[in-house]
Amino acid sequence: MSVTTPAPVTRAPRHPVGPRARVDRRSPIRRIVALLIAAATVMLAAAVSGPARAADPTPTPSPEPTLSGTVEAYLSPQDGGVLRPARGLSAWATLRNGTAYSIAASQTVLRIGTRPIADRPALARWLDASTAGAGMTQVGSAAIDAVEPGDTGRTLISVPADDPTIKDLRPGVYPLAATITRAGTARTVTSVVVVPRPDSATRTPVGLVVPITAGPLTAGLLTADQLTALTALDGDLTAQLNAVAGTSAILAIDPAIPAAIRALGTAAPASATQWLERLYMLPNERFALQFGDADVAVQTRHGHKTLLQPTSLQAYMSPADFAAGPIATPEEVPATPDGKTPSPTPPRTAGPNTPEFPTLEALQYLGENTRDAVTWPFSGSADAKDVAALGTMSTDDTAALTLVPSASTAAGAQATVPARGTSGKAQVLVYDSAISDELRTAAAQDDPSVRGAALAAVTAGLDLAARTSTQPLLVAVDRAAVRPGLSAAVETVTRVPGTTAATLTALVAASPHPVTIAAAPSDAPWAAALKDLEAGERTLSSFASILEDSTLLTGPERATILQLIGGGWIRDTAGWRSALTAHREATATTLGAVSIAPTSDRNLAGTVATLGFGIRNDLPWPVNLILVTQPDDLRLEVQTLTTVVAHASSTTAARVPVRARIGNGEVSLDLQLRSPTGVRIGPPQSVGVNVHAEWEAIGLTVLGVAIGGFLALGLVRMVLARRRRRADAADADVATDADADAATDARVIELQEGESGADALRSAESPPLGDDPRRGPDGMST
């Protein structure tokens, strides 16, 4: 119950003052020892948990809780609302203040009716009532202190077992009411208690379906960090297994969870692998939800003859994590309740350095105690056509089975409908809508003083159903993103008086009864989202043809689509729309990851050349491309198709040979990337090329003339230089002879003047014989 007009009182302080820090007065030695111990502890934690992210230098303060603007009141009997003999009655009266104002102290009066509630419709009317019924007897009272904004006030009212009002109650479901009075105003909140039948000879079988899911995801698989948090001692997946351990609950498991653990290979967190082993060891019967707990009804309504399945998870696996082969499945698996023991998956081996990856089926393996061909549409989402379509999706040896809520049948939510049924040719299991809704409410509550109200409604509903039907019944803890109260919800179902646990095998084996499926409300937003997601997937699949292994892109895309139409988003419309927008933007980014890098115009001064164009590839894998180049003018002849292998996360040069024809001018080249299958990749580009084809001949002619001129000039200079040297040598010889003749003439004249001159002349012309080395001592020649 909620009230939207609380009385304004005193505002609570928004920032309470904390205790002052204590001064460390220990001795220096003790402080040093403490520091060493702390450092060792930090190093040990780092070694166990791996490297941690650096602390944010400017941490953001925790946001204040969002207030609902209302005051909600709850009446929660303890023990699931069961009033057992000699134990008395205890109930919590609770006020949850969702306003910005304080609530004054109030007085609570507890009353109980002595006339049992007759049937389930009467139970629903009473739980929706806001006033106490006539003839109810007061059995206790207590005070609730003032409640500050955002806080919860509660009080426990206890009634002793020997109280005459409750002592004489016969078996049945009885109305309970608490009237809370404050500041002159009173409001009443209702609940029920159940007096069980002593030693009931007939017990109604009740099956309980519990989904094992990881909540909403925006990616195809959980990461190692997410798995570490979910499978920790206080993690949500651990709490789910704790809740069903030791019970006969039927597990509806999202196969994406074991797939995420196995895809990490040896890098999987230890807590995650232990969680998976524990899941195997549980004897509970189970079935697989669709991957990511995807909506099956929107698929059948969208025209799918078969449900979407993951295509490949190879992109999530690293070769280094599978050097010793994939994670093995348990060697010993318990037999199914029907006594059959399916053949285990054959062991896989690998060489010491050769990675061997698990198959898609092995990644999603849930254990031997799994029934195939079971589908569970979101509550109220499937109509008769959807159920008929799902009913055709049998496997080779297992008939298809569809879970539907009783609210989707002609009987209605408050009617007691046996679990086993048929809708036309489709086999169905009907789960009780009203009780399942209360179970979901209880599982989502972390406050026992609030959760008890829904648990009491569960007990009362099952007790009234069991009194009117001996056929097996089915309830479910319906989907919710957070379920801190799951364990209490499961325990309540298993302890309802007059019932016994029913397995999936027992429910399927029960006699079926005809069921009429009602029309389902419109799912236009989900249908539009699926249509948009599949259109993006088709575009991405075409784009992925540039990869050697296209599943590196298409596999994660399909897995992400299934997660985005998963059950975790049912009650988070705003978050779901944001996730769809983010995925659309991510797809656009991927499609734009490969393109022709911006380039400037080129000059071609020749007949033959090679033009280089950059190919940008932001993907983490190399891609195979064909660069299509087309000129708009016949002046330039180009290679039309150029094969390019663009390296990962880099820009690769594509070399395109070109040949200039006769004539000069500007030519535009149209560039377009295509995949090997012909798919356009990235936007086209145009590059201008200035062609100067005749410059090459002109340049060669000019160069030849220049070289010839230089050679001729050098030759002339050499000839002239040689002639000059010869003339100079001849002139020097003539001058030397003239000087000799002049000297001789002068000597002759001189000798003629005297006899001594003659002798000197003869001496000059003929040297003495004794001076000739060729003559002997006697003057004769030798």
* 152-186 tens-digit pLDDT: 999 999 999 999 999 989 999 999 999 999 877 88
User: Which region among 205-209, 541-545, 622-626, 775-779 has the lowest average model confidence (pLDDT)?
Assistant: 775-779
Token pair in block for residue 679: 């798919």
Question: Looking at residue 572, what is its pLDDT?
Answer: 92
* DSSP type of residue 511: P
Question: Looking at residue 208, what is its pLDDT?
Answer: 98
Buried-state track 29-42, b at ≥16 Cβ within 10 A, e below 16:
eeeeeeeeeeeeee
- The residue type of 702 is V
As a whole number of angstroms, the distance between CA 269 and CA 221 comes to 14
Cα 245 from chain centre: 29
> Which residue is it, tokens 């491309």?
625
- What is the average pLDDT across 409-432? 93
Kindly report the backbone phi and psi dihedral angles of residue 72, in degrees, each rounded to the nearest multiple of 5, phi listed first.
-105, 135
Question: Looking at residue 399, what is its pLDDT?
Answer: 94
Question: Looking at residue 619, what is its pLDDT?
Answer: 97
Question: Looking at residue 33, what is its pLDDT?
Answer: 37
Q: Which residues contact 121 (CB under 8 A, 6 or more apart)?
A: 414
The pLDDT > 90 percentage for the chain reads 64
> Helix 236-244 and helix 270-281: axis angle, to 10°?
20
Cα 131 from chain centre: 49
Residue 481's nearest CA partner among 297, 217, 98 is 217
- The residue type of 585 is E
As a whole number of angstroms, the distance between CA 173 and CA 456 comes to 10
Token pair in block for residue 525: 């937003």
As a whole number of angstroms, the distance between CA 742 and CA 201 comes to 170
Grade residue 739 by pLDDT with cuts at 50, 70 and 90: low
Q: Are the C-beta atoms of residues 498 and 197 closer than 8 Å to each other?
A: yes
- What is the average pLDDT across 431-458? 96
Asked if the model's pLDDT at residue 592 lies above 90, the reply is yes
As a whole number of angstroms, the distance between CA 127 and CA 102 comes to 27
As a whole number of angstroms, the distance between CA 80 and CA 453 comes to 8
Q: Return the SS3 of 583.
A: helix
Residue 476's nearest CA partner among 172, 237, 244 is 244
Asked if the model's pLDDT at residue 44 lies above 80, the reply is no
Q: Are the C-beta atoms of residues 211 and 289 closer than 8 Å to each other?
A: yes
- What rounded mean pLDDT belongs to the chain? 84
Cα separation values, 315 from 219, 264, 351, 446, 558, Å: 12, 11, 22, 38, 12
Question: Looking at residue 697, what is its pLDDT?
Answer: 55
Grade residue 769 by pLDDT with cuts at 50, 70 and 90: very low
Full-model pTM? 0.78
As a whole number of angstroms, the distance between CA 156 and CA 178 comes to 11
Kindly report the backbone phi and psi dihedral angles of residue 143, in degrees, each rounded to the nearest multiple of 5, phi listed first.
-105, 150
Token pair in block for residue 327: 């994670």
* DSSP type of residue 147: B
Question: Looking at residue 373, what is its pLDDT?
Answer: 95
38/73: higher pLDDT: 73
Grade residue 65 by pLDDT with cuts at 50, 70 and 90: low
Kindly report the backbone phi and psi dihedral angles of residue 429, in degrees, each rounded to the nearest multiple of 5, phi listed first.
-120, 125
Which alpha helices (H) appear in 310-404, and where do they start and end? 360-363, 384-390
Asked if the model's pLDDT at residue 197 lies above 80, the reply is yes
748-762: per-residue pLDDT in tens? Answer: 566 556 555 445 445
Question: Looking at residue 742, what is its pLDDT?
Answer: 66
Asked if the model's pLDDT at residue 709 lies above 50, the reply is yes
Question: Looking at residue 240, what is its pLDDT?
Answer: 96
Question: Looking at residue 56, what is its pLDDT?
Answer: 35
Q: Are the C-beta atoms of residues 253 and 218 closer than 8 Å to each other?
A: no
